[in-house]
Amino acid sequence: MTLTRWMQLLVLLVMLTHCRWAKSVNSDLESLSQELLESARRPEFFRWMKRVRRTIHQNPEVGFEEHETSRLIRSELDLLGIEYVWPVAITGIVASIGSGSKPIFALRADMDALALQEQVEWEFKSKVDGKMHACGHDTHVAMLLGAAKLLSAREHQLKGTVKLVFQPGEEGYAGAYHMLKEGVLDDVDAIISLHVLPTIPTGSIGSQAGPVLAGTGTFTATIKGVGAHGAQPHLSRDPILAASSAILALQQIISRETDPLQAGVVSIGYLKGGQARNVIPESVEFGGTYRSLSPAGLIYLKNRIDEIIKMQAAVHQCKGEVDFMEDTPMPWPVMVNDEALHEHGKQVAEALIGKSKVEVFHLTMGSEDFSFYSQKIPAAIFVLGIKNETLKSDKPLHSPYFFVDEEAFPVGAAFHAAIAISYLEKHGGLVECV
């Protein structure tokens, strides 16, 4: 037999060995996932996650003010005997489970609420006027703590380290940026986040590789003119007229300057100026958001917004100023799911809930500051369905009527734990088999 033939046989033997290994790992993954899900569904475990979530829901705190939420999380970690670093970015926490050595896999949950009045009447309604967990961050914390309990019980199985990232200030404060800035995640090899979503059925999981969420920026414009009595408009330099012209012109960035095949958004969220019906005010303020699926698109939109507002103000003999809130920092980058990490998460989801319940999370112009992690670390964001029309848990995120089907919690906790354990086990990859 020739040397070439021997080499071919050797390669085939290696591939067959890896195929058997991969199939064995897939079987082990399904067994692990089901074991974790069964543990998370135990009545006492499930009640505990709901209690944690409901406590947080009744006491919502906005960005970088999550002091009570942080205290509750630390209390639960202390009871579990899990070590953590605190404070990180004012109220944030980074806990660690495992050997302390590489590889290091991270799971992230955001903690902050929104400045919104809850309109859902139920036993655990927000007790704080004007504040509400309308984006499910209370559920994210409860599920990550659930994962912490599952992982802690299996710490001996971890072939590396899992970091649990409890992050403040996602809602417009770029908390992820500030967590990264403090360096506590410099050694992380990969990170995932799980976000509840009211548009897919309870307990289903969705994701896709590549861009999934838009990069976004916000701005506040101030137009200063000269006030006058409404009966003598010729004595004014009307900032309301200038602001109106600017707002209309901003829409033409999308309708006339942006390739119709490229996604872009410019939306004005508020406009205020003056208090009397018969007085032209001295200044007007308005603000909004701009979004794109590319870094170049974000830069273009920002530059044109600045230019249009200032020029339209000048046309009406006013002065325009624009604040892009870059100290926050803004804009947030496009969220791009790492292909390999997404594929791993998809395999875990299929092992956990079955292929029929794994959904495609379609690209959206929504945004998430989790995108800051994706610029530094292989990252992927997944969504967990909470849609149950009977419970009316199908209302949009950021709605005062937002409600959650808590039956999804065991799936979320088990998914977190399963993806972490299996990532540490498989890190480095295997030959795939058909």
- 135 labeled part of a ligand binding site: yes
Residue position matching structure tokens 């009640």: 47
Beta bridge partners of 266: 290
- Strand residue runs (E) in 227-302: 228-229, 264-272, 279-280, 283-292
Q: How many CB atoms lie within 10 A of CB 215?
A: 25
User: Measuring CA to CA, which residue among 317, 189, 301, 316 is closest to residue 254?
Assistant: 301
Give the type of residue at 171: E
- 195 labeled part of a ligand binding site: yes
d(CA 72, CA 74): 5
d(CA 11, CA 19): 12
Contact 235/293 with Cβ under 8 angstroms? Answer: no
Contact 15/431 with Cβ under 8 angstroms? Answer: yes
- 57 labeled part of a ligand binding site: no
Contact 69/126 with Cβ under 8 angstroms? Answer: no
- 344 labeled part of a ligand binding site: no
Quote the DSSP letter at residue 38.
H
Between β-strands 379-387 and 190-201, what pairing exists: parallel, antiparallel or unpaired?
parallel
CA atoms within 13 A on the CB side of 189: 17
Tokens describing residue 303: 């530059």
Q: Which residue stretches of 213-289 are H helix?
A: 239-252
DSSP element (H, E) containing 320: strand 319-323
Q: Which residue stretches of 41-157 are H helix?
A: 43-58, 67-80, 137-153
Beta bridge partners of 379: 191
Q: Is 321 exposed, middle or buried (0-12, 13-18, 19+ CB in 10 A)?
A: middle
Binding-site entries for Mn(2+): 135, 137, 171, 195, 398
Could you list the residues known to form a binding site, using ranges.
135, 137, 171, 195, 398
